[in-house]
Amino acid sequence: MRILDKYSIKNFMPPAIYCLVSFIFMYMIIDLFGHLDEILRNKVAAGILAQYYYLLLPIIFVQVIPVVILLATIYVFSDMNKHNEITAMKSAGVSIIKIVMPFLVVGISVSLAVMLINEMAVPKANIETTRIKQTYIEHIKGGQEKNSVIDDVAVYGEGNRLFYIKEFEVSKRRLNEIIILEHDSLNNPVSKIIAKTGRWKHNAWVFYNCIIYRLKKNGELIGKPLLFEKKIMNIKETPKDFYRGQYQADLMNFSQLLEYVRKFDRVDKKVARRLAVDLYYKTSFPFISFIVVLLGMGFGLNSRRGGAAWGVGISITISLIYYAAMAIFLALGKGGWLNPLFCAWGANIIFLIIGITLLKKLAN
């Protein structure tokens, strides 16, 4: 590693580590105070809270690291620019590419780290933190979930069953517009169940206006469909399982979610499209850390104002615009307005172009 590279990394690491620790601490404090009433009311033990926030660390890390990288990059480059270090490097014959290269390597490294953590640690952490939060903090038991209505619940249940529920009335423990597709061990369709409503009574699901179709391997109907005004179903999933269905994409890694998308593509194209957006977002999100390095260098090198306050201000502004753009693209994708792959990567493409344009402006 060249002396210049070591110097650049040495300048970058302290503010990055400081920002990371500060942001993680602030995240935990805000989350703690947000649940303080429930924690005190349910007398959650300190050990449970410690376990909860320990398990939450990988989730917090992947959420705050793009802002951390952006803030540290802007701070370092605006400070170097302010003290004419960039000018001195250029005068010594160092190209702008060589100046920014160590930071690009850091951005790629962080993006790869986020990808690995997202794939290996975050799904398990989401499962465990959700369990602790519902059991101890929110004190959810059985069907006593919070009073709300959840739309478009998609769950892969026991017995190779795919559930799609248009609307889940949580407090009433009622399912509306139900579609269930059952497969055999070779993933061939066996039956399709459609019901107008379903109610949780005496620890069992009772479906109303229910139709059961028996299917061949190629999906063709076997005999006449079975019609029931009321039928007690042999379904092991409880209201709690369907309540957790709203977080399903967060509880799976890429390969699991890909299989989920393929299976739901046979049941409901709308659900499959929404899940496909989540799937592609898993590939695009890690690269935000690399793209914000380009943005940070571009804004830092194009400004002589410098200063920590300016760096924080511009970082927050860029982050808000970036996440707002990402949210809009994802909403358009899930709503069926745009291609899922484009929606997941749309914001990244726009800000990548902005970052490259800023650096080209400097190079020229």
* String of DSSP letters for 315-351: HHHHHHHHHHHHHHHHHHHHTTSS-HHHHHHHHHHHH
Query: Does residue 167 lie within any of the structural domains?
Result: yes
Pick from 198, 149, 148, 152: nearest CA to 175: 198
The rounded distance, in Å, linking the Cα atoms of 202 and 62 is 42
C-alpha dist (Å) from residue 256 to 38, 249, 273 = 33, 9, 16
Check whether residue 170 and residue 212 sit in a common domain: yes
Whether the pTM exceeds 0.75: the reply is: yes
Helix ranges (DSSP H) in the chain: 3-34, 36-41, 46-82, 85-91, 96-120, 122-132, 239-244, 254-264, 269-284, 288-301, 308-334, 340-363
Phi, psi of 193 (to 5 degrees): -120, 130
The rounded distance, in Å, linking the Cα atoms of 64 and 69 is 9
Check whether residue 9 and residue 98 sit in a common domain: yes
Mark which of 184, 205, 237 sits at the end of a domain: 237
Query: Does residue 266 lie within any of the structural domains?
Result: no
The rounded distance, in Å, linking the Cα atoms of 84 and 74 is 15
Pick from 96, 106, 117: nearest CA to 73: 106
Phi, psi of 148 (to 5 degrees): -165, 170
Check whether residue 286 and residue 353 sit in a common domain: yes
Residue recorded with tokens 């005004």: 229
Query: Does residue 248 lie within any of the structural domains?
Result: no
The terminus-to-terminus CA distance of the chain in angstroms comes to 27
Cβ count near 303 (within 10 Å): 17
pLDDT value of residue 359: 82
Check whether residue 30 and residue 89 sit in a common domain: yes
Give every residue of the chain whose pLDDT is below 70, as ranges: 1, 139-147, 244-248, 266-268, 302-309, 311, 363-364
The rounded distance, in Å, linking the Cα atoms of 20 and 69 is 9
pLDDT value of residue 354: 93
Query: Does residue 335 lie within any of the structural domains?
Result: yes
Check whether residue 27 and residue 78 sit in a common domain: yes
pLDDT value of residue 20: 96
Pick from 277, 261, 287: nearest CA to 343: 277
Mark which of 186, 206, 237 sits at the end of a domain: 237
pLDDT value of residue 306: 54
Check whether residue 196 and residue 168 sit in a common domain: yes
Domain total in the chain: 2
Cβ count near 265 (within 10 Å): 14
pLDDT value of residue 275: 86
Cα angle value 7/12/16 (rounded, 5°): 160
Cβ count near 91 (within 10 Å): 9
pLDDT value of residue 146: 54
The rounded distance, in Å, linking the Cα atoms of 219 and 109 is 46
Query: Does residue 255 lie within any of the structural domains?
Result: no
Query: Does residue 324 lie within any of the structural domains?
Result: yes
pLDDT value of residue 59: 95
* DSSP letter, residue 215: B
Query: Does residue 256 lie within any of the structural domains?
Result: no
Q: Which domain holds residue 78?
A: 3-130+280-363
The upper half-sphere exposure of residue 250, i.e. CA atoms within 13 Å in the direction of its Cβ, equals 14
The upper half-sphere exposure of residue 42, i.e. CA atoms within 13 Å in the direction of its Cβ, equals 20
Check whether residue 99 and residue 200 sit in a common domain: no
Query: Does residue 54 lie within any of the structural domains?
Result: yes
Mark which of 237, 261, 296 sits at the end of a domain: 237
